[in-house]
Each structure stands twice: as structure tokens, then as C-alpha cells.
Amino acid sequence: MQFLLHPPDSSRAVGILPASFNPVTIAHLELAHAALTHVDRSILVLPRVLPHKEYSGASFEQRLFILQEVVRHEPRLGLAVSDSGLFVDVAREFREARGSAAKLWFLCGRDAAERIAGWDYGRAGVFEEMMQEFGLLVAGRNGEYVPPAHCAASVREISLNSKCSGVSATLVRECIARGEAWEHLVPEKARDLVRSFYGRE
């Protein structure tokens, strides 16, 4: 893992938000900020290789440039690049780079938490093992996430501002493609770059 902006103190609680950021939205930023009630710093992580999808639209380099412009103005946020987007691999990359003392919390929505908990890993107990390595800070997206009882101590709920309800990178791209207003869906520092890299006025 390569830390590019505001690396965390490795002995403290760290929030990690791995995403494709295609493009970064106000919901990403709100999730990172909301986590700061539980962690000392939130790190936005752009994987070089995306799990379950390929890079399309803006390139890795373009997305990273946008993120740098946003995060450099946010002293309690950080930016890093990982080789993988899978939570367990990102956690292990973090520990290799920064040591094992930090408590790691991955930031995600309810839908992502349910996928992680219910994924077929090929053998029983993998999710429980992962919860020994890190916790989940889960934002409700169309419902509350209820974790398995034996993992409840490793899962905490966080609340997002209602203005982020329904906001997604997919929505931003769709609005741009249709020629509709999209600027309110992305951080102010990202708007000119998103306009440049994603197309239409």
C-alpha cells in the first residue's frame, strides 16, 4: 500500500474506504467524515485492480488525480493506493506498510456489508476470520444492516446526511450522459476535473 496524502498514525483507529471512485461523490466524502466519530483518520483507497470489474471511463491515473485534489484539503482524511480492492487484502497491505497496532475499520454501505457477510468464500468461517482482522462501519442504504450475532461487536452503524441518499457514482455518470445537472453530486474541488475527464458540460 502506498500512502499519498495524510498517512495515518499506525497506532490508532483508522477508517478505510476502498472504492472505484468513478467519480468520487459527496456520499463518499460524507461516509469518510461520518466515520471520524469512531476513528482518528479516514483513508480513501483506490485499488490498482478492481474486484469484480474492470477500469472503464476515467483511468486509474485520472481518478487518482481527482482524489488528490479533494483529499489534500481534508486534513483528517488520507489517500492511498492498494494493489487489491478486497477488504482482507487491503487490510493486510495496510499492516505490512504501517504495522499491526492500528485498529482497522472498513467503511461501507448496508448493501456492501451484506455481500461481504454472505459471500461464498469456499469454506465456512471466512467472514468470522475477517472480523478478527478488522471491523465494519456501515451506513444504512435503504435499510439497516443487522450483522450475525457473533460478529456484532465488530460492526457499528454510522449515519449519513440525508442529502446523500441515493447519491452514487453511477448516478453522476448517468446525469452527465443525459446532460442533466450533476455538479451538486460531487465535491466542489472535484467538479472541474470531473467535467474534464467525464465529458459533457
Residue 201, domain member (yes or no): no
**Which pLDDT value is given to residue 201?**
43
CB-based burial of residue 56 (10 Å sphere; 0-12 exposed, 13-18 middle, 19+ buried)? exposed
C-alpha 28/C-alpha 17 separation (Å) is 8
Model confidence at 166, pLDDT cuts 50, 70, 90, reads confident
Range of the domain at 146: 2-196
DSSP-derived 3-state class of residue 15: strand
- In the sheet where 155-158 sits, what is the strand order? 2-5, 77-82, 41-47, 13-18, 103-109, 135-139, 155-158
Q: What is the CATH number of the domain that holds 65?
A: 3.40.50.620
Model confidence at 165, pLDDT cuts 50, 70, 90, reads confident
Share of the chain above pLDDT 70, in %: 95
For residue 4, is pLDDT > 90? yes
For residue 141, is pLDDT > 70? no
For residue 200, is pLDDT > 60? no
Residue 57, domain member (yes or no): yes
Average pLDDT, the chain: 88
DSSP 162: G
DSSP 28-76: HHHHHHHGGGT-SEEEEEEESS-TTS---SS-HHHHHHHHHHHHTT-TT
Quick check: pTM over 0.85? yes
C-alpha 113/C-alpha 99 separation (Å) is 25
Residue with cell 498514525: 9
Q: How many domains does the chain have?
A: 1
**Which pLDDT value is given to residue 142?**
63
User: 191 phi and psi, to 5 degrees?
Assistant: -65, -45
Residue 11, domain member (yes or no): yes
Per-residue model confidence as pLDDT tens digits over 47-70: 998 766 777 779 999 999 999 999
For residue 112, is pLDDT > 50? yes
Residue 23, domain member (yes or no): yes
Over residues 127-131, the mean pLDDT reads 83
